[in-house]
Structure 1
Amino acid sequence: MSKLPTTFTDLIAEAENLELYPKLIKQINKDFLLANIDLDFEEDILPSNLKYLLHEVIYKLIQEKFSEYLNLLYIVDVSEEKIKQLDGSDTLQLSEQVTFLVLQREWQKVWFKSHYKS
């Protein structure tokens, strides 16, 4: 992976081009389950719905269940450094940025697994 996709559109395009979109969904489902967050996406969910629902869940976690939110970031393994660089004054904007960081990290995991499998 030369570099991570920097937009949602690029990330989804890359996942679909490499036929890894279903694996991305599985990885998201797996990590959310590990974090005890009740979320289970169908593998054929539209990318726009995925983005919207993920954003909604992360927004609610930040607002109402902050410790679960932190646990999710830990399980997904989102860089603490990247989170600290975000502006937390606007929760809606923050949750949108965190949603992308979560997707980016999940994509990284899926890409590495497929790229380095024996």
Structure 2
Amino acid sequence: MNFISPINSDLLLQEAEAENLYLKLIQQINKDFNLANEGIDFPKSISPNELKIQLHEKMYRLIQYKFAEYLNLLYIIDVPEDQIKKLDGSDLVILAEEVAFLILKREWQKVWFRNKYQK
């Protein structure tokens, strides 16, 4: 079983559910947001679609109104800077969606590797 990065949020969340790691993904997201002082508390019962929507909205608000906090969050989560630089920032709605996916992808990597190598 090798780590293969999903190409979009829907596939990533499907994979997390299929591997019974969806709850751990939610916990990791909550943990890292709280570490960055951007309190977010996704309930364990949140659906994958709702998680995706709420994360997108949160990123939009951070980019729009709290840019320094947004940058700090990306640093805390450890989203690769080169991937952020490749994004087109001309449309904030699309940018927020792409950043939300990069965050999900990085958090999924953490959860997946911890699960694989903890055994």
TM-score tier by shorter-chain length is over 0.9
- Greater shift in the superposed pair: 1-10 or 81-90: 1-10
Give RMSD over aligned pairs.
Answer: 0.8
Identity %: 57
2:62 maps to what in 1? 61
Deviation at 1:2, TM superposition (A): 3.7
1:113 maps to what in 2? 114
TM-score of the superposed pair, with normalisation by structure 1: 0.97
CA contact (8 A) 2:30 2:39 kept: no
AA matched with 2:8: T
Deviation at 1:8, TM superposition (A): 1.3
Question: Which 4+ runs in 1 deviate beyond 3 A?
Answer: none
TM-score of the superposed pair, with normalisation by structure 2: 0.96
1:19 maps to what in 2? 20
CA contact (8 A) 2:32 2:76 kept: yes
AA matched with 1:34: L
> What residue ranges of structure 2 are gaps of 5+ in the alignment?
none
**Counterpart-to-counterpart distance in 2, 1:85 and 1:34:** 26
AA matched with 1:20: L
State how many pairs are aligned.
Answer: 118
